[in-house]
Structure 1
Amino acid sequence: MRPSSEAELADAVAGSMRPLLVRGGGTRTLGHAVGEVLETGGISGVELYEPGALTLVVRAGTPLAEVEGVLAGERQRLAFEPPDLRGILGREGVSTIGGVVAANASGPRRVQAGAARDAALGVRFVDGTGTMVRNGGRVMKNVTGYDLVKLMAGSRGVLGVMTEVSLKVQAMPEAEATLVVEGLDDPAGLACLRAALGSPFDVSGAARHSGRSLIRVEGMAGSVAYRVRRLIALVGGEVSLVEGESSAALWRAVRDVVPLQGRPGEVWRVVTLPTAAAEVVARIGGEALWDWGGGLIWLLAEPGRGAEVVAAVAGRGHATLVRGQGGPVFPPEAPEVAALAAGIRAKFDPRGILNRGMMG
């Protein structure tokens, strides 16, 4: 099914007698959901764009590339830097903005600007009964009552099918530069990233791979130059500087997990305490791409290491199997959390037809 309007979508959900597999572009779907495919790509287009107010309202099926193109025309961008996971997942297709928000897909700049859910101002969606729900608005404001905008971001379609999202956007910086720090082992290299993030120099990216620690700063040219000098003095080690488009290319590779693409093995997305990042990888083994100062680990590991991965992050994070066979994709929930989640799903999708099995 591919409805072309919100009304058609609501009718399709209300009248469905079988499970529905909600799909935007199919470029970042995880889990084991089953059902008749319900595509959102027919509900597309920019509803409202106010560059002066840094506000964008767009239908959920709109391709991400189209959204980014519209913003680039006004030298603006999505601050949360959504990753393109087609390479790491071996997928084709076109990513949609609704899929981005549903997955809470957020890249390296999350350490500075927050996640996709932090940029979401409002949302419209059809719940599992076919009822149209609207929450939030087109400007940032204090939330009274239940914040469905934040709830929907990261819900992966199990609570409702998004039809429209309102987002705050960000002006593109005048300049960017990346410090490349070499000559440090992993514990020291990660400590270097944490020191940079803990400094007052407004770091917008902190990642590590193949023995190199990367630290990004963005903004007005004079400010970037000043912060680069201060950070070089802070981190020490062997430091080189990459600027402009060359810097941007480094961070696209981090964002899209390029170093781990097209290689055999399982890929895990591990979120943990930055101070535990080196120990977690040493315990599991494999090759790591660290982002968020070590708080996010993309790990290429041998197949069948699921038990070791879960044990390594127990009590200090969680792990998602992004690419691999067998076992659960998402981490197990504590009983009280599982009960709360089940209660919320029962309210929004009492028949249990939306992305059944997605989070299991």
Structure 2
Amino acid sequence: MTTFTTSTVEEVLSAVKWAVAEEAPLETVGHGSKRGIGRPAQAEHTLDLSKLTGVTLYEPAELILSARAGTPLAEIEKLLADNHQQLAFEPMDYAPLLGGQAGRGTIGGVLAANLSGPRRLKAGAARDHILGIHAVSGRGEAFKSGGRVVKNVTGYDLSKAMANSWGTLAVVTDVTFKVLPVAETEATLAVRGLLDDHAVAAMALALGSSAEVSSAAHLPYPAVSRIAGGELGNEAATLLRVEGFGPSVAYRMEALKGLLKNAGRLDELAADLSRKIWREVRDCLPFAGSDKPLWRVSMAPSAGHEMVMALRMQTAVSAFYDWQGGLIWLQMEHGDPEAELVRALVKRHGGGHATLVRAAPAIRAALAVFQPQEPALAALSARLKEQFDPKNILNPGRMA
């Protein structure tokens, strides 16, 4: 087994060309913070991008940042914070869920996994903020897509095609993202004690109002007790975040309180606690520190709580909701991922996507970790793979 540790684009290109010539598959990694997601890669050799680092362009006034793919996300976020800017889609850190060290993810991994956080409702995900890439395809050919300006859209948007491809189409070596200013302040309204169905209704009411809620999540027990060092107690909390200038946040928070005055007890959480809570919701910390199977389910917000209730009738499961109820984290308490049951219930309640985020390698090797695609979409994916990586060199087997 050979590990190619690359620090330049030329070295990446050389390693991939060798792999193509030898028909020797490569597993591509940065710091490996998401290595436990997907099926175990069927590759004897590793392409290590952890030394391919550095911010190559940062123009705060133009709201753009370019960096090598192996640059730690924590380094980029610090640079942006020092300039009162951010990646508005607040990419999550999977490492705590998978037993790894927090802050080890890379900016290339952000695009490969199409990461996002609770602000996705308002800001979208990584694919919505990528402006351009440089990459090496599975043919051993270097290419680039996009540019360094927001309005540059020509031909196929290959930059977005890399999002959620998990390194199976190309090795991205450089990325350019749009960045945005950080809000002056924020606050969170917590509605206490709601059952899941009432919580979903309250979140829908808040999101439909003029309060400009940027994030909405519901934490039933026991998830709520595992947030912010237990500061939220054991009573279910439905969380609504408001961001912006101080007077605007205060005005909109009062409007929310008036709107939800009959929903339940209302607690206003100040900026510091609000930021802490949303970071922990972002990284799914209620279910960190465990090896129990964990699902990430995306479906219609109005249907998710019904699916969870049906699931609880058949097996022991802990859950909490983000994205107004459209993102559900499910921890299977008996150690069996119950893949057929989970996916059948998702389909029965309107459809969606269920990804097995955490499970033992043997389980991940035996199951479809990512949501199986419908035939037409699977055929399109196969044609895309054939164009980028006809010899199946890059991360073979990880997604299917």
- The TM-score bracket by the shorter chain reads over 0.9
Written as runs of structure 1 = structure 2, the 5 A alignment for 1:83-98 is 83-92=92-101, 94-98=104-108
What's the CA shift string for 1:152-185, capped at 9, x where partnerless?
1111101100111111111111110000001321
Are 1:346 and 2:349 an aligned pair?
A: no
2:14 equivalent among 7, 11, 16: 11
Are 1:72 and 2:81 an aligned pair?
A: yes
Aligned match of 1:324: 359
Match for 1:51: what amino acid? P
2:342 equivalent among 293, 309, 318: 309
**In structure 2, the residue corresponding to 1:206 is in which secondary structure?**
strand
1:70 and 1:336 mapped to 2: Cα distance? 43
Q: Which stretch shifts more, 198-207 or 45-54?
A: 198-207
CA shift for structure 1 position 142: 5.4
Query: Does the CA-based 8 Å contact 2:291-2:358 persist in structure 1?
Result: no
1:229 equivalent among 254, 267, 280: 254
Aligned match of 1:34: 42
Aligned match of 2:245: 220
**In structure 2, the residue corresponding to 1:70 is in which secondary structure?**
helix
Aligned match of 1:299: 330
Q: Which stretch shifts more, 83-92 or 214-223?
A: 83-92
Q: Which stretch shifts more, 212-221 or 297-306?
A: 297-306
1:89 and 1:200 mapped to 2: Cα distance? 38
Query: Does the CA-based 8 Å contact 2:65-2:178 persist in structure 1?
Result: yes
Aligned match of 2:233: none
Aligned match of 1:253: 280
Distance 1:125 1:264, change over 3 A: closer
Aligned match of 1:57: 66
**In structure 1, the residue corresponding to 2:209 is in which secondary structure?**
coil
Which 4+ runs in 1 deviate beyond 3 A? none
2:154 and 2:64 mapped to 1: Cα distance? 21
Match for 1:87: what amino acid? P
**In structure 1, the residue corresponding to 2:5 is in which secondary structure?**
coil
The answer for unaligned runs of 5 or more in structure 1 is none
Root-mean-square deviation (CA, aligned residues, Å) is: 1.2
Match for 1:105: what amino acid? L
Aligned match of 2:54: 45
1:5 and 1:289 mapped to 2: Cα distance? 42
**In structure 1, the residue corresponding to 2:197 is in which secondary structure?**
helix
* TM-score normalised according to structure 1 size: 0.97
What's the CA shift string for 1:181-231, capped at 9, x where partnerless?
013211001111121122222211100112210000110001100110111
What's the CA shift string for 1:61-113, capped at 9, x where partnerless?
10001101111110111101111111111123721100111100110011111
Query: Does the CA-based 8 Å contact 1:25-1:99 persist in structure 2?
Result: no
The answer for unaligned runs of 5 or more in structure 2 is 221-235
2:320 and 2:152 mapped to 1: Cα distance? 36
**In structure 2, the residue corresponding to 1:58 is in which secondary structure?**
strand
What's the CA shift string for 1:4-61, capped at 9, x where partnerless?
1111101110111211001111112311222111111121100110111111011111
Aligned match of 1:270: 297
Query: Does the CA-based 8 Å contact 1:257-1:289 persist in structure 2?
Result: no
CA shift for structure 1 position 333: 0.9
CA shift for structure 1 position 308: 1.1
* TM-score normalised according to structure 2 size: 0.88
What's the CA shift string for 1:299-344, capped at 9, x where partnerless?
1113141111101111420100011242221111111111110100
Aligned match of 1:24: 30
1:297 and 1:201 mapped to 2: Cα distance? 24
**In structure 2, the residue corresponding to 1:122 is in which secondary structure?**
strand
Q: Which stretch shifts more, 134-143 or 211-220?
A: 134-143
Aligned match of 2:129: 119
2:291 and 2:167 mapped to 1: Cα distance? 30
Distance 1:355 1:68, change over 3 A: same
What's the CA shift string for 1:128-149, capped at 9, x where partnerless?
1111110001111152321101
